[in-house]
Amino acid sequence: MKALVTRLDNFGDVLLAGPAIRAVAARADTVTLLCGPRGAPAARLLPGVDEVLVWDAPWAGFQPPPADRKEIEHLVDTLGALEIDTALVLTSFHQSPLPTALLLRLAGVRFIAADSEDYPGSLLDVRHHRAPHAHEAEAALHLAEAAGFPPDDDARLRILPPPDTGALTGGGPYVVLHPGASVPARAWSPERCAAAVRELAAAGHRVAVTGGAGERVLTSYVAGEHGLDLGGRAGAPELAGVLAGAAAVVTGNTGPAHLAAAVGTPVVSLFAPVVPAERWRPYGVPYVLLGDQTAPCAGSRARTCPVPGHPCLDTVTAHDVVAAVEKLIGGEP
């Protein structure tokens, strides 16, 4: 059986699909993962994936491209050439799987399963309804099981073994602080991140500050004189290695939180409630959730904070972060 799984969103979304993908891989001869460009680095870290196809869908992501007929026809032709037997369309709770399902049906996929509140007509063979409060990773697993792919392992997040990153981090224990986020509403302010680095260092913790190539100004400021600035120095595999070696990771609701969970590292989650924590919190590892989950922005899915002063996160103090880190690692610096 040739199987296809689609998850067209961001890095963290693709990581959360990992347990469901492994369930499919346990019963399929090959698994192709169709993902968006922001999710592709995560896709290449996942066990059970034989091939990664990257396509920027006009109905997914934070900056979707315009619909292009030639690109869509090319994708349909590419998928048709794969002769896929079965497909799972994984989406977030607020997304429709039906545009993707239509393309898969046009590509000749015979069996398609998805969570769908909308009437799917002939586009789905399994129209599944997700549990109202299920975590995103669990919802994907439930769909896989409904399509005939029950879990074959412990169903935790997992990636391929990361590289040794001791040359980046140096010797001795450390804590990671990742100040960036995919959208501004989910980020703790740079000033509070910098204060947390200082307070963690004062409490005896060595702190590594991580970020992408476009975040070097941010990581340099946050690291200051007390942290190790790793901004722009680690791609996805290396970042996984850095997170795997950490005693704890401090970050917002963004991809590195899920990558930390995938390598088994506890997470202090600075969680803006613009999306529900029950669906997006760190999965399968010890965690401490910080941030006002009853703030006025709760459930708004806002990308830029709609409340002056960003109270859901900027009421969190550096002391709160130090206390949460020490709770996770047993109180020892």
Q: What is the DSSP secondary structure assignment for residue 65, as one 8-state letter? A: P
Q: What is the pLDDT of residue 295?
A: 87
Number of domains in the chain: 2
Q: What is the span of the domain harbouring residue 212?
A: 166-328
Rounded mean pLDDT, 9-32: 97
Q: Are 15 and 259 in contact (CB under 8 A)?
A: yes
230: tokens are 């790793």
Same-domain pairing of 244 and 273: yes
| Number of residues in the chain | 333
Same-domain pairing of 132 and 257: no
Rounded mean pLDDT, 310-314: 89
Same-domain pairing of 170 and 270: yes
Same-domain pairing of 88 and 180: no
Measured in whole angstroms, how far is the alpha carbon of residue 66 from the centre of its chain? 24
Q: What is the pLDDT of residue 331?
A: 52
Torsion (CA) 178, 180, 182, 185 in degrees, nearest 10:
110
Same-domain pairing of 174 and 317: yes
Same-domain pairing of 105 and 192: no
Query: Tens digit of pLDDT for each residue in 155-202?
Result: 999 999 999 999 999 989 999 999 998 888 898 999 999 999 999 999
Same-domain pairing of 96 and 198: no
> What is the dihedral sign for C-alpha 309, 311, 313, 319?
positive
Q: Give the domain CATH number at 140.
A: 3.40.50.2000
Query: Tens digit of pLDDT for each residue in 67-83?
Result: 999 999 999 999 999 99
Rounded mean pLDDT, 27-35: 98
Same-domain pairing of 172 and 136: no
Same-domain pairing of 31 and 173: no
Q: Are 174 and 245 in contact (CB under 8 A)?
A: yes
Q: What percent of the chain has pLDDT over 90?
A: 86
- Average per-residue pLDDT for the chain: 95
Same-domain pairing of 67 and 193: no
Same-domain pairing of 231 and 183: yes
Q: What is the pLDDT of residue 333?
A: 44
Inside any domain, residue 99: yes
* Contact residues for 242 (Cβ-Cβ < 8 A; gap 6+): 165, 168, 169, 176, 208, 210, 230, 234
Q: What is the pLDDT of residue 224?
A: 96
pTM above 0.85, yes or no: yes
Inside any domain, residue 151: no
Inside any domain, residue 156: no
Same-domain pairing of 177 and 314: yes
Q: What is the pLDDT of residue 195?
A: 97
- Cβ count within 10 A of residue 53: 16
Inside any domain, residue 26: yes
Burial 253-276 (b: 16+ CB within 10 A, else e): bbbbbbbbbbbebbbbbbbbbbbb
Inside any domain, residue 154: no
